[in-house]
Chains A and B, each alone.
Chain A
Amino acid sequence: EAQVTQNPRYLITVTGKKLTVTCSQNMNHEYMSWYRQDPGLGLRQIYYSMNVEVTDKGDVPEGYKVSRKEKRNFPLILESPSPNQTSLYFCASSYRARNRGTGELFFGEGSRLTVL
């Protein structure tokens, strides 16, 4: 089954304790991206990756890092989490080139993070 898998789905942590939210897709997609969703602010893009070893900032990259060492994985790293990073996070993937697909995004089920 084609899917985007995020882990953990729920996490409560404390300020300053480094954490990683993993994202894995099994569709051989080149493009992957991370979003955060907060009440009243909709979905905001954090980082995206057009292919392995290629990453770029979205609209709200501050406080986050990403890496793309393998095609299927795109982890989101919070080096020193703060309470304002409490949010619902979504990972998404798609084919990069339109001639290989419609460019539609496939989303994971979300990871709810609370930073105390």
Chain B
Amino acid sequence: QLQLQESGPGLVKPSETLSLTCTVSGGSISSNNNFWGWIRQPPGKGLEWIGSIYYSGSTYYNPSLKSRVTISEDTSKNQFSLKLTSVTAADTAVYYCARQRSNWNYPAWFDPWGQGTLVTVSS
């Protein structure tokens, strides 16, 4: 059974870089036809897609965050990571990682999801 687990600092200072890692177990991130994605949810609000990385390494980002986001993968550790630069209080959210199915080589639906990790941006 595929499982994902987010890890990283729960508190980040304004203007600094948020870094999170998603560790995948029960399957390989190098397997064909899978994307690996990041989604966030501010407290009490809805879901926002951040970006996705294909098993081949190609990436897709939310245009509203693209200038600040980098998603990468480490196949040797079966992990993928998120970096979000120049954070502000508006980036405070629960951050989820998830597997995504590929739909004609584009990222599609998310399943399963990690449990999520709360990241607070505050000095």
The judgment on whether A and B are partners is no
Q: Which residues of B contact A (CB under 8 A)?
A: none
Q: Which residues of A contact B (CB under 8 A)?
A: none
